[in-house]
Amino acid sequence: MTASLGKHAWVLGLLVLFLVLIGLTKLVQPSFSLAGIESLTRAALPFAFATAGMAVVVIVGGIDLSVASMMAVCAVTAAVLMERMAGVPAILIVLAVGLGMGLINGVLIVLTKVPDIVATLAMLFVWEGTALLILNTPGGATADWVEAGIRGSFLIGWFPKALVVLVVGIALVWVPLRRSKLGLSIYATGSDETAAFRSGVPVGRTKIIAYGICGLYCAMGGLSLAALTGIGEPVPGPYLLASVAAVVLGGVVLGGGKGGLLGPIIAVFILRIIRSILTFLSVDPNVTTIIEGVIMVAVVMLGAALTHRGTRK
């Protein structure tokens, strides 16, 4: 009970922090408006999907260093396919490619028993090379409706379409999973692999599926990159470290078994809006990354202190 309260308090705390930061943004840039929130959401899209994927493998007790490379493979695949075929089948193929890459990562880790960090580091280079083989220079094209699909607002005048895509994309996979036996197995495996195994959890299969889901989210991330830019870029973006940062800030314990996806997603938005604020203040760009890092460490440390006090009560 206290654990679940603690978890919710963390997510709630992040949400409050995000709202405070929005208020702060409005303070430093009075013209900041819903259009600003809309472009913020769009910018957050690839980070959010990468973070969701990373969160799932961290919860199962692993880590996937190849997320950015898988996103690059999916982005170039999407851009190459959409030049030649309709958007919907292309998207389905890209999702399958992402799932496939994730499953390969998982199988490799489970079968060879090479530590996750080493196996996925190796796969980082493999997928990076694959992306360059598919498209050795930025190019391709995306369907117009795909680009329009994440731009502007949805139905009511102010709700960003990108947020709809984000929520639907993540929930469609995560919500049914979380409520199934498989979801429970993922948390059990992450908490204590041996205990889970002795309780009859198919540990290997669970891990492979978790990596597969990570790949699937990376496919969504790659698709959102293609939709944002209208092309496919074979060189991986800065999504690996950013996703680890958001996962940690989002309250998922490195080591596994604890945390959810909501916290990390809000953390992504926090990290994005901090960048906006620093831009509005025209802070020296060489200092911005230092400030970003300091804020992150400070929040995580404060959070840890609060959680500690909470559990002692």
Partner 1 sequence: MKKFLTATAAIALAIPMATAAFADGHKSYTIGVSNTVQGNGWREQMICAMRAQALVEGDVSNLIVAHRNTDSAGQLEDLNNLIEAGVDAIVLNPSNPDALNSALEAAMAKDIVVVAVDAGVTAEGAYILSNNQEQYAYLGAKWLFEQLGGKGDVVYMRGIAGVSADTDRDNGFKRALAEYPDIKVAHEVFTGWQQDQGKQQMFDFLATGIPFDGVWTSGIDNVIVDAFTESGAPLVPIVGADNAGFVQYLTEVDGLQGAAVTNPGSVGGAGIALAVDILNGEAPAEKTVLVDPVLWENATDGGRATITAAQNPNLDPEWPVSVTVPGWTDYTMEQIIACEGPGDS
Residues that bind partner 1 (CB under 8 A): 9, 13, 16-17, 20-21, 24, 28-29, 31-32, 35-36, 39-40, 42-43, 46, 132, 135-138, 147, 151, 225, 228-231, 233-238, 272, 274-286, 288-289, 291, 294-295, 298-299, 302-303, 306
Nearer to partner 1, 37 or 99 (CB): 37
CB of 214 within 8 A of CB of 120? Answer: no
Q: Report, in Å, the least distance between residue 124 CB and partner 1.
A: 15
Nearer to partner 1, 80 or 225 (CB): 225
Nearer to partner 1, 43 or 78 (CB): 43
Q: Report, in Å, the least distance between residue 300 CB and partner 1.
A: 11
Nearer to partner 1, 44 or 209 (CB): 44
Token pair, residue 224, equals: 């959102």
CB of 268 within 8 A of CB of 55? Answer: no
Give residues with Cβ within 8 angstroms of 191, minimum separation 6: 61, 256, 257, 258
Instruction: Provide the 8-state DSSP code for 253.
Output: P
Nearer to partner 1, 9 or 93 (CB): 9
52 half-sphere exposure, CB direction, 13 A CA radius: 29
Please, where are the H alpha helices in 113-229?
Answer: 116-134, 144-149, 161-179, 181-191, 193-198, 203-229
Q: Partners of 153 in the beta sheet?
A: 160
Q: Report, in Å, the least distance between residue 130 CB and partner 1.
A: 13
Q: Report, in Å, the least distance between residue 281 CB and partner 1.
A: 5
Nearer to partner 1, 41 or 185 (CB): 41
Q: Report, in Å, the least distance between residue 175 CB and partner 1.
A: 27
Cα–Cα distance measured from residue 97 to residue 78, given in angstroms and rounded to the nearest whole number: 10
Q: Which of 26, 40, 19 minimizes the C-alpha distance to 275?
A: 40
Q: Report, in Å, the least distance between residue 185 CB and partner 1.
A: 34
